[in-house]
Amino acid sequence: MSKLHEAAGLGQSIWLNSFDRSLIHNHRLLDLIHLGVHGITSNPGAFAKALANSKDYDEQLRGLVREGKSIKQIAEEVLFTDIQTAVDLIHPIYERTNGVDGYVCLDVNPALENDIDGMVSEGLRLAYDVDRVNVMIQIPATSTGIQAIEKLIGEGANINATHIYTVDTYEKVAQAYISGMDYFWTHLDIWRLPPAAVASLPVTRLDEAIDSTLTENSSLQGKVAIALAKVVYGRFREIFSSDEWRHLSEHGSRLQRPLWASSNDPRYVINLMGPSTVHSLPPAHITDFLEDSPMTDTITAGRDAAEQTLAEMAIQGIDLQKIERQLQADAIKDIRQSYQNLENNVIRRRDELADTY
């Protein structure tokens, strides 16, 4: 039994936080799924980089150019092909867990960040075009995004609410999910499968942002993100043990689990283990970061100390809501640029292959 399977036995699902076609072609993705990876979040930047630096996409690119596809259509078909392949590879996990895990996530177009209806339409289009029951749409937890999340859940779409950096935003995301589930059960036909959802806190990114504002010897260095996650987890347990949620769960609604997104330090794994959670990790660290983890519940303990850490942060004048707004804006900008890079790299690679058509 791998460490990933041990984590699953505790109730924490380990997801992969990025992939591209090379990970598919060299069978590394399938190997990781066999080791116990239970889900995948994607990053358009990874696809853009892979298309520019490998030959894995050349054959498909030639075919799409011959068909007269536009640059945007080519970029999207390349992306969808990788997403569909990954979704199919991980579908046995979806079946085995009865839809709790086994998802592959795809970002909605960030150009629609201020358009609720546009974001909803785009989320439904992506789910329809990928055409797999276990695709999950990633929506940033901005004020507009949270409203779109509620509507998409109500329409039966699987949703990863991303870039949550405050307890207040987490609570709004949780309520949007509950309200969306209530709409789903009261307005849609009973035969439809209920949607799944996660709520993502990028713990590494938060600590990096906060630590850059602190003095080197500050007692808060490297502590805020874990503290926030512990407080959020406490609220998760409270919200999803309410009578309102119990009524929805009796219909078959699934928990909207917190997802901890980290990348460069195993202490996040060690300190954020617990039931009904997800942790996304990069391919390079997805196994070794788990080696020193105790595989026991470490997220539940220490909530009072975590509350104190957040209070101390406020005393020191750190405005977490302001930091959240900036980090969300930066993330949306990065995703928008990644989609543009994907199209730019399609053009460049098309031109490089011009003599082979």
- The candidate with the shortest Cα–Cα distance to 331, out of 225, 223, 201, 212, is 201
The whole-number pLDDT of residue 357 equals: 64
Residue type, 353: L
Q: Looking at the DSSP assignment, which residues form a beta bridge with residue 12?
A: 277
- Across the range 237-255, mean pLDDT stands at 95
d(CA 15, CA 285): 11
The whole-number pLDDT of residue 355 equals: 75
The whole-number pLDDT of residue 330 equals: 96
**289: pLDDT strictly greater than 80:** no
The whole-number pLDDT of residue 298 equals: 95
- The candidate with the shortest Cα–Cα distance to 261, out of 176, 123, 162, is 162
Q: 104 falls in which pLDDT band (50, 70, 90)?
A: very high
Q: Residue 191, exposed/middle/buried by CB under 10 A (0-12, 13-18, 19+)? A: exposed
pLDDT in tens, 195-206: 999 999 999 999
- Across the range 204-230, mean pLDDT stands at 93
Q: At what angle do helices 203-211 and 224-239 cross, to 10 degrees?
A: 140
CB 101 within 8 Å of CB 94 = yes
d(CA 54, CA 63): 17
Backbone angles phi, psi at 171, to 5 degrees: -60, -40
Print the domain residue range for 272.
3-356
**189: pLDDT strictly greater than 70:** no
The whole-number pLDDT of residue 190 equals: 66
The whole-number pLDDT of residue 292 equals: 72
Q: 131 falls in which pLDDT band (50, 70, 90)?
A: very high
Residue with tokens 């949550």, as numbered in its chain: 164
Instruction: Write down the mean pLDDT value for the chain.
Output: 93
Q: What is the DSSP letter of 29?
A: H
- Across the range 77-87, mean pLDDT stands at 97
Q: Residue 267, exposed/middle/buried by CB under 10 A (0-12, 13-18, 19+)? A: middle
CB 306 within 8 Å of CB 228 = yes
Looking at per-residue pLDDT, the higher value among 221 and 111 belongs to 221
Q: Is 357 helix (H, G, I), strand (E, B) or coil?
A: coil
Tell me how many domains the chain contains: 1
Looking at per-residue pLDDT, the higher value among 211 and 215 belongs to 211
In this prediction the pTM is: 0.95
Residue with tokens 């785009």, as numbered in its chain: 122
pLDDT in tens, 263-286: 878 999 999 999 999 999 998 888
Q: What contacts 49, CB < 8 A, 6 or more positions away?
A: 20, 341
Q: Residue 165, exposed/middle/buried by CB under 10 A (0-12, 13-18, 19+)? A: buried
Q: What is the DSSP letter of 252?
A: T
Q: What is the CA radius of gyration of the chain?
A: 20
pLDDT in tens, 29-45: 999 999 999 999 999 99
The whole-number pLDDT of residue 188 equals: 78
- Across the range 164-180, mean pLDDT stands at 98
The whole-number pLDDT of residue 195 equals: 96
Q: 348 falls in which pLDDT band (50, 70, 90)?
A: very high
Residue 267's domain is classified under what CATH number? 3.20.20.70
